[in-house]
Structure 1
């Protein structure tokens, strides 16, 4: 992590938002921080996968709403739209991707790859959201859409694979 950014963090509140938005500082990865954040999402999903679907759905709603605020505060702190250090959006997107899938190597790997493809390509409306919606909501919402596309694709892949 950059010494300059450490000096800039003047309050515990800023430190908390930077820590959460960067996925525990995973977003400071010098190479492919979005991919690193997606991998963090996969790792965090494994214990969450044992929640009942209704509980996981409530968790998704709450973590999404919180991530809008966290990403928005991080954008304010960094002074940059969708700063590459912010990876909470990738984590949340992966959580949407993996909804209703067991944590097997096949599903974790395929879900990770599908999410990365949709997150990078940004098919409509993800690209539109990325360009037109500002603040933390825009940062996270395009990844939620990518996660939903990846989830649907993973269901289709699963149906064909069986």
Structure 2
């Protein structure tokens, strides 16, 4: 089943195709406005399922989401015929999981982590912006969000430390 869309690029994808479904963040990337933010929101239920895992399991699944993301994003972008279409949001899913590594429990820290990740993903300070512009393919789609997730994670843990 192809997507019904006025965007001819999106009409090349199907939510019944597992790779497309994941690349589109379970469909969240189809949001007309701010698909990256909606992709990050779509990561929250996945995080809630993972948050009580031991750290090695959480890290392993997060690493798996990143490694799989290289292929998922590359395949979807090739199927669409464009590099890093805004509807591809698996990179945001992986980025939020990175942000929340070893985060304290609670909605406050989830919200702070979410805000920090969106801040770094949107603002793209150096070297995130450089990577976004210079690196292509699935790795290029993923790497700027991976680094945004690392920056956000470091800031989140700094705030946790300051909060005592």
Unaligned 5+ residue runs, structure 2?
none
TM-score where L is the length of structure 2: 0.90
In the other structure, the counterpart of 1:148 is 150
Give, in whole Å, the separation in 2 of the partners of 1:103 and 1:25: 27
RMSD: 1.7
1:25 aligned counterpart, secondary structure: helix
Give, in whole Å, the separation in 1 of the partners of 2:49 and 2:21: 21
Unaligned 5+ residue runs, structure 1?
none
Give runs of aligned pairs for residues 82-101 of structure 1, distance below 5 A.
82-101=84-103
Q: 1:115 to 1:7 in 2, by over 3 A?
A: closer
* CA displacement at 1:103 relative to structure 2: 3.6
In the other structure, the counterpart of 1:125 is 127
| Number of aligned residues | 159
2:25 aligned counterpart, secondary structure: coil
Q: 1:9 to 1:151 in 2, by over 3 A?
A: closer
* CA displacement at 1:55 relative to structure 2: 1.1
Q: 1:70 to 1:157 in 2, by over 3 A?
A: same
1:5-26 CA distance string (max 9 Å, x none): 676348x7xx222111001111
Alpha carbons 2:12, 2:80 under 8 Å: kept: no
* CA displacement at 1:124 relative to structure 2: 2.1
1:46 aligned counterpart, secondary structure: helix
In the other structure, the counterpart of 1:24 is 26
* CA displacement at 1:42 relative to structure 2: 2.2
* CA displacement at 1:127 relative to structure 2: 1.1
Q: 1:7 to 1:83 in 2, by over 3 A?
A: closer
Alpha carbons 1:94, 1:112 under 8 Å: kept: yes
* CA displacement at 1:66 relative to structure 2: 0.4
* CA displacement at 1:3 relative to structure 2: 4.0
Q: 1:59 to 1:120 in 2, by over 3 A?
A: same
